[in-house]
Structure 1
Amino acid sequence: MTICTLCAYPSAGYLCVRCSSATGNRLGDMPGLYDTLAAFLAPACRRPETGRTSRVEAPLPVSEDVLTLRGPGGMVGVLEDWRDALHSELGWTVPGQRGTIERRVADASGSLRTNMLWIADAWPQAGEFAAEIRQLHQEATAVVEPPERSRVLGPCAAWFDDGTFCGGAVRLPQDGRVARCSWCRTAYPPVTWCALVTGKWANGESPRTNNLRQGTSDRSGTDDVLDGNIYAP
């Protein structure tokens, strides 16, 4: 047993189960994020400046951050660089750049996602790769889905299919009625919040749950929910 090169969690390969799954999900989001970013190219309207100070330079007609992400060196550049590095590592022919940027983003992210098992198990660069994909995903989602104010209630009580404990941060949005794990997306209703905050479920061993699986909401469109009874001693 070694440690994950992204989160330092115990792992059988270069990436643990949760980091491998999360990276695969982020890769799957890339084509949709790229398309959605187009709607945010126009900069947000701002109130006119007060006083007599005038703007020295005219503002860009588009949002610079979005333009960078959608440009040749943005999402497509990062994805194709890693796809090409993977092909070189495996001795495969490096694909050329074909089609629109939208098509290239879909092709590169799809190729990387298809090979996530090998990347997680056998590629020494897996941690660096996963970190850059996470950063790219965060930059894009910060534009299309600005983060909402929230508080952390405690660590997630879910277990993964391989028997490892999740432990991701469970966040409750401001004025929200359901808290959710930022890692596996497990949902927690109000009856469980006290146990999360106080850690009463932690009695020397990690908590057990019934058939909770990482990424269920991403695959099936439904969310796992923990009931209050799992915290009973």
Structure 2
Amino acid sequence: MENHRTVKRDKVDILSVQFDNVTMDEMRHYVTEFVETDTTDNMFVVTANPEIVDYALEERSYYDLIGEADFIIPDGTGIIQAGRILGTPLKERVPGIEFMAACLAIAERHRQKVFLLGASEKVVNEAVKHLQADYPHIEFASHHGYIDVGDEKVARQVSTFNPDYVFVGMGYPKQEEWIKRHRHRLQHTLLMGVGGSIEVYSGTKKRAPWVFRKLNLEWFYRLITDWKRMTRMQRLPRFVSKVFQTRRKK
């Protein structure tokens, strides 16, 4: 069976970041195939939105880091719009929290192990409690995310658990830096940065209501409910400006 590393996939260039042009169903297929393949390879997935792309364009080390991922999937609505503006449309948005849910459903079917790394100790414990109720055949372990990327004790805890999935909710770039630094300790594991998804699963943070998601305004809901995001949101107009500059050059 061909694995996810050898299958030739359609890529879309968004400001020099190479996105995989995939649907949610296709990602489910890739993960299921990975789970069912006898391999020691890991799968590193980056869920990228406009903030991440803009940051990657400013920080070369981070740009190179996400370039090592097996998949870069279009998390943000802004990425989908950018693809259309640049004349290279992507098939659909693949929201990180929904892809995480798809992975959990696969883990439940295969009775696998999941490690959550991120948020505060109280929040990540609540997330595990809620997820255990929803996915009784998954074995969970966790640690809070208030750690240094180089913390060897936590890295050993993760590798000793021998998880099939590691979901790191520390926010970019720290979550991807942790994955890069420690993934060599793991075998046949899917690793993904999940931002604030652990808070959502814990019940301490609400996802945008359906109408905001339907209108592609989930980013606006997050802004008006969490003013601490204001600084990060300043990357959005810069991203949009770069997209239109690129279109003019084309």
Q: TM-score under structure 2 normalisation?
A: 0.28
Structure with the greater relative contact order (CA < 8 A, sep ≥ 6): 1 or 2?
2
Larger proportion of strand: 2
Q: TM-score under structure 1 normalisation?
A: 0.29
